[in-house]
Structure 1
Amino acid sequence: MRAAISLYSYKHNDGERRYAQGKGVGSDVGCIGVGCCCGGICQSAGRRDARLRHFGRVRRKTRALDGPVSIASGREQRERVTHVHAMIPVSVQHKLLVWLSTGSLLILFSAGLLSKASEPVWRWTLPAGVSAPPIPADNPMTAAKVELGRRLFYDADLSADGTMSCATCHEQKHAFADGNRTHPGVTDEPARRNVPGLANVAWFTPLTFADPANTTLEAQVASPVFGIRPVEMGMAGREAEIGVRLGRDSCYQVMFARAFPENGGRIDFANVARALASFERTLVSHGSAWDRQQLSPDAKIGSTLFARDCAACHSGPHFTDSAMHRLEAADPTFADQGLFEKTGIDADRGRFRTPSLRNVTLTGPWWHDGSARSLADAIARHGLTHEPAETNHLIAFLESLSDPEFIRRKSLGMPSEACGKPL
């Protein structure tokens, strides 16, 4: 199955923004050509097209003040600089350039650098009894990193041809999964595994279906960006290009300076990964009916069945033991051998990590390869026998794990502006 794709561009100031648009065709899933995995339009059977715009390359000039600021020397100069900075709202600080004249020397300060010492510490908003996730010592959480990571999450310039962003496959309305069985990357190479949801990913380790070494969000970013089996975003061997692309945008220059003052706001993949990881740690979901203890009668019956038949593996507040299990007979002829591909141990064939069940009704189709088309099918493939009524009760319980506020939270969606300007 293929779909029509058209790329268009328009000028914005001195830069060009690119979007992808198209319409999927076919009985299963339709998406735009090479950008299917992340592209602008995806369609599942019986669903409307889901249009998702992605940022292409954007280059903008930073506005200067209406005129130069006249600053005296010595103490008066320092006092005036402090006063001017204190009077500048945060949204305006992003785009102000303050010129200081001292004799023949001109010193350029960006507002982001002026305020680096006052960058607010990140404050978690979590329900009672939920502890903050572990944070790497070399990547402490700050609001500036989260803001930068959010923009990068929706930026298609992280892919080879500018058609694919993180959000292409991780859509908020699907709890940051995408609603399709699998998705190809920028080369149109078929994918092997279903896109998992990202709710509460900050607490997970390991992070992927079958790689026990993939334990930090910072390191995991490299898998989709540089991976070759399969190719997703297609940037293998082109790491330096990422910094060059983003560095052309004056707003990104300010955002990186604010987020990473300790290394001079360096625009490179290492800082991109740190910012993306910081944003992904804010994908917190604890607003389900189960969290509120407001289960329907059917869900209450289902919770009893779940505790009996499912909770051994789908355990804890995230409904996963994070271990790798085999639920179907191992077959050396299968294209995806799971954990075996990393360990080479024959007993690991067909082992995959237990997925979280939070928002599970929003993240289908299910199974590591997306081959379970319904929750009833997924339940049946666990090898247990349930009467139809019991299956319905289990599904009612699984529905109680959905968090409607999470998929509408504006702070997690595509940003509409950066540095005080529309995107």
Structure 2
Amino acid sequence: MNIRRAATLLALGLAASGIHAASVPQKTQWILASAKATGAGGEDFVTSLRITNPNTVTATVAITYLALSPLQDGRANGDNSSATTVTVTVDGGRTLPIEDVLGTKFGSAAPHGIVAGGLKIASDVPVSVLSRTYNAAARSSTGVPGTFGFSIPAQSADEAVSAGDTAYVSYVAGAPDRTKGYRSNFHMLNTVAEESVVHLKLVRQDGSVVGERDYTFAPLASAQENDIAKVYGNTALDENLTVFATVKSGGPVVVGASVIDNAIASINYAPPAKVFAPNNGKFGLILDDGGYGFSGRLDVYEGMPDFLSAGIVLEGCPAPTTVQLFFVQAFTLGGNKNTTFTKNADGSWAMSGSSSSATWTGTIFGDVDGSVFGTITYARSSGSAGGSCPGVGKTMSFRGARAEAIPVP
């Protein structure tokens, strides 16, 4: 019999945790956008990097340039599977500055016609990465040379948008022309060497939809929708638009927006906030079992639970052992199949299962942070079929988070 041990349940329950904060050093991360290009107003945009190594050992860091490709009927066809990678080292406790990264490290290459794109940063030890894209040819009102621009922090795998997940980017703006207000460019980067499809929806403050469409990305492709509000049909001066980005297939994908002042060309970065869908993972469950401290495990694969187990303490059993521990293992596949999970209209899942000695039912909900919560009811069968605790049951709530990802072929 395919038994998953109780010790694993406890370990998964204790391992359940939230995602990394954005400021935590990472081994793999992405800079959404970089450039060495002329802007719409004649700006001379370049990008610099700062790579900080907080470790005591030297970091070996590979930087891969994922060049921007133009959008053609919603497709970014620039396949970056053979993209150029350069390697740098950063001493422990030091910060490495890289000025004009596309010019100095990649020779201002434009394999898809534009000297711009995303950057993948892969290090043998965790590092922190921050970029700055700025106009190197700026002048003050009196003609003094200077610069202005914006910083884009690196995004980790936890911040990238996976299949079924949605991110939203606020502070997106649009204007009827370039004489006033703001415009927004929406940036997207496919982080995997396979095709990915992203659905964007542009929404006003009142919830009405300006427009929506799908984008298809070649492997590791980078693209941006310039002046997205205008492209989607906005004709008003509106500084409170929000883009909702959902990955329909493939992924993860990283997203964000640049917001440009039409009058003076100042620019800011609008980062994404991610709505996590609990999917493709093993979730550790903490049971509200009255202080006994047992835990559980839930597996969700391709949008549906396919396994649940838990240690359940029942009180009120016949003497002499009035408190007893039972384990439920809910299988949906194979010869051990004993449970059915059904998706409800509100997106939750209903569970119903049984064995010769007990029944179990419950409801599982997903939260916007990728965690799960719900209730489970476990009841022993009546009479001799219920063994040492016939007819006794218990309903309890639970909450859990993903402890391990399940790879999807």
TM-score, with structure 2 as normaliser:
0.26
TM-score, with structure 1 as normaliser:
0.26
Give the structure with the higher percent helix.
1
Give the structure with the higher percent strand.
2
Report which of the two structures shows the higher radius of gyration computed on alpha carbons: 2
